[in-house]
Amino acid sequence: MLTYNYYGHACFMLDDGACKILVDPFLTGNPQAAIDESNVEADYILITHAHSDHVGDAPNIAIRTGAKVIAIPEVTDFGGEQVKVIGMNIGGTVKTSFGFVRMVPAVHSSGVGGGVACGFVIGVGGKVVYFAGDTALFGDMKLIGERDKIDWAILPIGGHYTMDPVDAAKAVTLLGATNAIPVHYNTWDIIRQNPEDFAAHVVGAKVHIVKPGQSIQLM
């Protein structure tokens, strides 16, 4: 059984009962945060890019829990030898204790010199989960969906810095995803959106609107 725990903004955890995968752990300073960073447990931490609302509390959580950090090498330049780092790059795949992580492109600024933003395709709990990270809509999302059958697509809908609901709905179509979850909206006024607008534009997939602090089973 695979559980999706939404902690607000773009931070969530995937838990297959044996392994906890924490993604973009921006909690301290996050007005949506549903958990304190000191209470988060993790076996792996995935970081899409170096903007502060995505790296967030990754250094502290990684040091406290001993979690392995998966990211572009430039993003993981923190914590020194205290942090277990699995550096990878776009197009690469890492086999893990829970399955695999494939790093895929995103169209967004990096937040750090020399780095690039990315998304992740995560194979865990018998499901394939795509997290776009922060990105614009781009045509090669179709290739991502052709390589891996996407059971769940987790997509930003806030606009201004990323896709808006209309573009995110088009992304669902390109990916051929079966289910979609919107994230990265309503944290601040500048990315205020109604997730029902996203749901209204999605064709051929089921949309699951999850509030910060809520969990759902990814069936």
Query: What is the structure's pLDDT at 79?
Result: 66
Residues in Cβ contact with 178 at an 8 Å cutoff, skipping those fewer than 6 apart: 150, 151, 152, 205, 206
Q: What is the pLDDT of residues 82-102, one digit of tens each?
A: 899 999 999 999 999 999 999
Residue 111: pLDDT over 80: no
Query: What is the structure's pLDDT at 115?
Result: 82
Structure tokens at 24: 């973009």
* CA nearest to 148, candidates 175, 173, 184: 175
Antiparallel, parallel or unpaired: β 11-15 and 3-8? antiparallel
Residue 77: pLDDT over 90: no
* CA nearest to 41, candidates 24, 64, 18: 64
pLDDT, average across residues 2-28: 99
Query: What is the structure's pLDDT at 76?
Result: 84
Q: What is the pLDDT of residues 19-76, one digit of tens each?
A: 999 999 999 999 999 999 999 999 999 999 999 999 999 999 999 999 999 999 988 8
**Main-chain phi, psi angles of 111, to 5 degrees:** 85, 0
pLDDT-based confidence at residue 118 (cuts at 50, 70, 90)? very high
pLDDT, average across residues 188-212: 99
131 vs 76: CA distance, rounded Å: 19
64 vs 82: CA distance, rounded Å: 9
Q: What is the pLDDT of residues 163-197, one digit of tens each?
A: 999 999 999 999 999 999 999 999 999 999 999 99
Structure tokens at 138: 């781009």
Q: Which domains, ranges and CATH numbers included, belong to the chain?
A: 3-217 (3.60.15.10)
